Amino acid sequence: MLARAGHAQLWVLIEHPGPWPKSAPGAVLPDALVRRIESAGGPVRLALIRRPRDRNVVEPRWILAWSDGVRQWMREGTVAGYGDLVNLPFESSARGEEPDVGVARHSQIFAVCTHGKKDACCAELGRPIVNALAAVDGADVWECTHIGGDRFAANMIALPAGLYFSRLGPESAVVTAREVLSGRVPLGHLRGRAALSPSAQVAEHILRERTGLDAIDAIEQVCETTTPDGSVAVDMRIAGRDYRVLVRQGPPEPAFRHGCVAETAVTWHRWIIDSVDERSIADR
């Protein structure tokens, strides 16, 4: 599941108590709002969120969370009705410009997919994660609609960094959340950082694995170049050190069945890492 995090830099989270049909969030929000968000430009992800045990929503909360892998910010607020959200500055937010709306948010968010109408695995495997995370001090936990990768359930996204964690169980979710709250990236269930391309997700994972660097905000610069043979050279500065990782996509893996729906078969391509080199000033 390495580097299978869906690409998103701006996350638009909107509180909605449910029920969530299979086609949510689009089916439960005003059409004009959905169109505004979809036309914002850039990699944007819209998701509904709700508190695990409180479905009484008087003034829905909205959260904008943005990261490009190096910088990040969050803003939040409430509105009287969903139609009012159409006035949020989605276009400039998608460009990474922190808006002067709502208030700045500094505490992290953990959103766990429990969208059972979309995929039964999300509800069956996600809800025990939500319950387990209630024991983690300082963890702001929400249920959310589909965030991609049903085959990797249970899925959790940590914002604003946009870290996807998958195939979680109650115990591993607790350990993961505590590490993230401490400012570290645990690799055991890391699917990838949504703000980065798949190739850069591979590079981040292998560099952290080999160097032991685990600070969430360690990435300082990312640049990608496609080589003549089709590989991707990822130049990444992490914790003041410069690396080049050569990555390419390998052949498809054999199809396999997963999850709660027996007839569901999936496959993917594995990643091949050709080289990992630390670069000196002379190499730059």
> Per-residue pLDDT tens for 97-140?
999 999 999 999 999 999 999 888 898 999 999 999 999 999 99
Both 106 and 240 in one domain: the answer is no
Final residue of a structural domain among 181, 209, 232 = 181
- Which percentage of the chain shows pLDDT scores above 70? 94
Residue 234 is assigned to a structural domain of this protein: yes
> Under a CB-based contact definition with an 8 Å cutoff, are residues 158 and 166 in contact?
no
Same domain for 100 and 240?
no
210 and 159 inside one domain: no
Looking at the structure, tell me whether residues 112 and 164 fall in a common domain.
yes
Report the number of distinct structural domains present in the chain.
Answer: 2
Do both 223 and 174 map to the same domain?
no
CA 10 to chain CA centroid, Å, is 10
Asked if residue 189 is part of any domain, the answer here is no
pLDDT at 263 over 70: no
> Is the domain of 246 the same as that of 147?
no
* pTM (2 d.p.): 0.94
Asked whether residue 135 falls in the same domain as residue 237, the answer is no
* Domain identity same for 158 and 250: no
Domain range for 134: 10-181
